[in-house]
Amino acid sequence: MNSDTIIHSRGLAKRFTSKGQDVQAVAGLDLDVARGELLAFLGPNGAGKSTSLRLLTTLLRPSAGTAAVAGCDILADPAGVRSRIGYVGQGTSGSFSQRVRDELLSQGAFYGLGRREAARRTDELIESLELGPIATRTVQQLSGGQKRRLDIALGLVHAPELLFLDEPSTGLDPQSRANLWEHILQLRRSHGTTVFLTTHYLEEADRYAERVMVMDRGQVIADDTADALKAGLAGDAVTIGFADPARAQDARAALSSAVGAEARQEEDDAGRPVLAVTVPDGAGRLPDIVRALDAAGLPPRSAAAVPPTLDDVFLALTGRSLREADLASEDAGDADTPTTHDTSTTHSTPNEKAGRP
Amino acid sequence: MSSIVNDSFNVLVRELRPVRRDPFSLIFSLLQPLVFLGLFTPLLIGQSGAPAAETLQWFVPGILVMIVLFGTGAVGSNLQYEMMTGAHERTLVAPIARSSLLVGRALKEVVPIAVQALVIVAIAFPFGFRAHPLGLAAGLVLLAVFGIGLGSLSYSLALATREHEWLFWGVQQMLIFPLLILSGMLLPLEDGPGWMRAVAAVNPLSHLVTAERALLGGELGAPVVWWGLLAAVAVAAVGLVVGIRSMRRS
């Protein structure tokens, strides 16, 4: 491990018993994160994202494996890890009975800042996270977005070199979410903080994370930039429309041979016949495809190539869409993450804590 | 060790912040003891035929112990709430000793106990209740020591029952009411059956009540005071040991 590596783990695993069943929450995590990276764990509920974070932040003891975080071993020197990292969990970090400013001052004291230093840092964070108007309110009185901003501020009091964020934007409305991301990105620009987050929002991982680790059933199944993952695994969704089903049927063989992949006959949203096929660089190949169909006397009515999403990547990797995987884990009563999703504007209260047996 | 002292102090300061911001919350939680004081005293007077002042002299020390029992016995629910929201988890990731999260909280109990006890003493004053000043001071110390222990046990119960709020309150109520009645706080146990007196003899609360009666009445050197002190210290020691262990394991 060199000095530019801020997280290094080998074979990190966690198993626990839940409702009489042996669950392998994290199955052998090998991780190397360079200083300054912004990376995201993407995966459905119950994939082991939160449990992995809780292992790395010393909240849980691993069943097997080793990890060094910010230069300290998670088992031999948990206190060293804790003093160097910031952690924003899924829940609300501030106590409901405490005032916003008071919680920040207390947090500063917990991290060993003197009174003046804690007060200075508190005021700085109140300013930069726009908590000024609510600084004397109790946490109970805050909206979901305000609570989340306080959570982030609490995680930053000691200006950590590494910040863990567990589902930072779950339960926030789109505007609060965008606002939160602005703060996170600003933080990175100004301090070079390494940011490690979990999310099950595809757009979020796609748009902000420089490196995406796709997690499923306790294992990392892909690890690259979002673009590379999409280009390498999914390909563009090419859709060719036809005037009538018979013509679409006739064109199927021609299209399949033109792209070198089996085309499926489907209907679009308006019920019109289309042929669909997923191919790498579909947009670039679209002119050739149309020409080939024309030459075969089967002119298309429409042609489109839609770039893939990370959901397509997940589908290509696991055979399930993220949404299906989420629903399946909820049916199984799994609660790696709170079950409140984007529709809720208040932050959820996690009754079942992730990875806690 | 110095870091545990320092960390506990920081936790104590944090726990006291809401009290400082809203001191009247301490008065609101006096409602229950005041109901007992207001509605039970006339019954006691009616039953014994003794004058109000004399009855209060017997009853007020019990009320002070009741404040500790109800107020401090319930503080675990605050921690339980923080466990459910995520605030507790946040403090577990902070570089502070686990034990300080318990010790700082337990020490905080001293403040509400002292404030509330003095308010009750002041309310009873116009009705003829008189407390020996030194005895009152010593009595407060005894209550505080006991409160630290009981608070720790309440926090331990919260840690043990985790997110099961109903379980916390179920166990808490199941323990508190028998302890209350078997302490001779509300009605004298002298006329009760032998088995009740036998249980009361091993109930630390009954020793505490007896000691408070002696102290507030000015009998500072009475042997019952020493028994009360022993009971309070024992509860504090057991509470802290159990509490620190549960917090370290959490």
Euclidean distance between the first and the last CA atom of chain A, given in angstroms as a whole number: 32
- Which amino acid type is present at position A78? P
Residue A57 CA to residue B95 CA, distance in Å, equals 11
Residue, of A260 and A354, whose pLDDT is higher: A260
Chain B residues touching residue A156 (CB < 8 angstroms): none
- By DSSP bridging, strand A162-166 and strand A85-88 are parallel
DSSP B127: G
What lies within 8 Å, CB to CB, of A126 at 6+ separation is A100, A101, A104, A132, A135, A153
Tokens, residue A264 = 């499926």
Residue of B75, B89, B96 to mutate, interface with A, max A Cβ within 10 Å? B89
User: Do A91 and B81 count as a contact with CB atoms less than 8 A apart?
Assistant: no
Q: What is the pLDDT of residues A128-139, one digit of tens each?
A: 888 999 999 999
User: Do B14 and A106 count as a contact with CB atoms less than 8 A apart?
Assistant: yes
Chain A residues touching residue B165 (CB < 8 angstroms): none
**Can you give the pLDDT at residue A44?**
85
Q: Is A189 helix (H, G, I), strand (E, B) or coil?
A: helix
Residue of A107, A110, A163 to mutate, interface with B, max B Cβ within 10 Å? A110
User: Do B95 and A111 count as a contact with CB atoms less than 8 A apart?
Assistant: yes
pTM confidence score: 0.84
Chain B residues touching residue A352 (CB < 8 angstroms): 163
Residue B137 CA to residue B125 CA, distance in Å, equals 16
Residue B171's H or E segment, with its range, is helix B165-181
Residue, of A339 and B172, whose pLDDT is higher: B172
User: Do A96 and B91 count as a contact with CB atoms less than 8 A apart?
Assistant: no
User: Do A91 and B94 count as a contact with CB atoms less than 8 A apart?
Assistant: no
Query: A321 burial class (0-12, 13-18, 19+ CB within 10 angstroms)?
Result: middle
Region class of A319: left (phi > 0), else alpha (psi between -120 and 50), else beta? left
Q: Is the pLDDT of residue B208 over 80?
A: yes
- Do A329 and A44 touch, CB atoms closer than 8 A? yes
Chain B residues touching residue A92 (CB < 8 angstroms): 85-87
**Can you give the pLDDT at residue B8?**
93
Mean pLDDT of B144-158: 94
Q: Is A141 helix (H, G, I), strand (E, B) or coil?
A: helix
Q: What is the pLDDT of residues B61-101, one digit of tens each?
A: 999 999 999 989 889 999 999 999 999 999 999 999 988 99
Q: What is the pLDDT of residues A65-111, one digit of tens each?
A: 999 999 999 999 999 999 999 999 999 999 999 999 999 999 999 99
Region class of A71: left (phi > 0), else alpha (psi between -120 and 50), else beta? left
Residue A263 CA to residue A273 CA, distance in Å, equals 13
Length of chain B: 250
- Which amino acid type is present at position B7? D
Q: Does A58 touch chain B (CB under 8 A)?
A: yes
**Can you give the pLDDT at residue A236?**
85
What lies within 8 Å, CB to CB, of A278 at 6+ separation is A234, A235, A236, A237, A238, A261, A308, A312
pLDDT band of residue A349 (cuts 50, 70, 90) is very low
Q: Does A43 touch chain B (CB under 8 A)?
A: no
Give the minimum alpha-carbon distance from B212 to chain A in angstroms, rounded to a whole number: 33
Give the minimum alpha-carbon distance from A131 to chain B in angstroms, rounded to a whole number: 18
Residue of A96, A97, A150, A167 to mutate, interface with B, max B Cβ within 10 Å? A97
Out of A232-236, A274-278, B110-114, B233-237, least confident range: A232-236
Residue A334 CA to residue A312 CA, distance in Å, equals 23
Q: Does A119 touch chain B (CB under 8 A)?
A: no
Tokens, residue A118 = 């804690």
Residue A86: strand pairing partners: A163
User: Measured on CA atoms in the order B56, B62, B68, B70, is the torsion positive or negative?
Assistant: negative
Out of A79-83, A241-245, B128-132, B150-154, least confident range: A241-245
User: Do B90 and A93 count as a contact with CB atoms less than 8 A apart?
Assistant: yes
Mean pLDDT of B38-42: 90
Q: What is the pLDDT of residues A288-325, one digit of tens each?
A: 889 888 888 888 999 998 888 888 888 888 888 877 77
Give the minimum alpha-carbon distance from B86 to chain A in angstroms, rounded to a whole number: 4
- Do A314 and A325 touch, CB atoms closer than 8 A? yes
Out of A30-34, B1-5, B192-196, B231-235, least confident range: B1-5
Chain B residues contacting A via beta carbons under 8 Å: 7, 10, 13-14, 17-18, 21, 78, 81-82, 84-87, 89-96, 163
Closest CA to A229 of A172, A307, A151: A307
Euclidean distance between the first and the last CA atom of chain B, given in angstroms as a whole number: 21
Q: Which of A82, A90, A97 sits opposite B18 (nearest CB)?
A: A97
User: Measured on CA atoms in the order A237, A243, A245, A251, is the torsion positive or negative?
Assistant: negative
What lies within 8 Å, CB to CB, of A31 at 6+ separation is A7, A8, A9, A12, A67, A220
Q: Does A90 touch chain B (CB under 8 A)?
A: yes
User: Do A59 and B92 count as a contact with CB atoms less than 8 A apart?
Assistant: yes
Give the minimum alpha-carbon distance from A106 to chain B in angstroms, rounded to a whole number: 6
Chain A residue nearest residue B16, CA to CA: A98
Most confident of A46-50, A69-73, B160-164, B186-190: A69-73
User: Do B95 and A107 count as a contact with CB atoms less than 8 A apart?
Assistant: no
What lies within 8 Å, CB to CB, of A296 at 6+ separation is A251, A254
Chain B residues touching residue A349 (CB < 8 angstroms): 84-85
Q: Is the pLDDT of residue A343 over 50?
A: no
Give the minimum alpha-carbon distance from B109 to chain A in angstroms, rounded to a whole number: 16
Give the minimum alpha-carbon distance from A23 to chain B in angstroms, rounded to a whole number: 20
Closest CA to A200 of A47, A88, A328: A47
Query: B31-48 and B110-124 helices cross at what angle (nearest 10)?
Result: 40
Mean pLDDT of A205-220: 90
User: Do A92 and B86 count as a contact with CB atoms less than 8 A apart?
Assistant: yes
Chain B residue nearest residue A98, CA to CA: B18
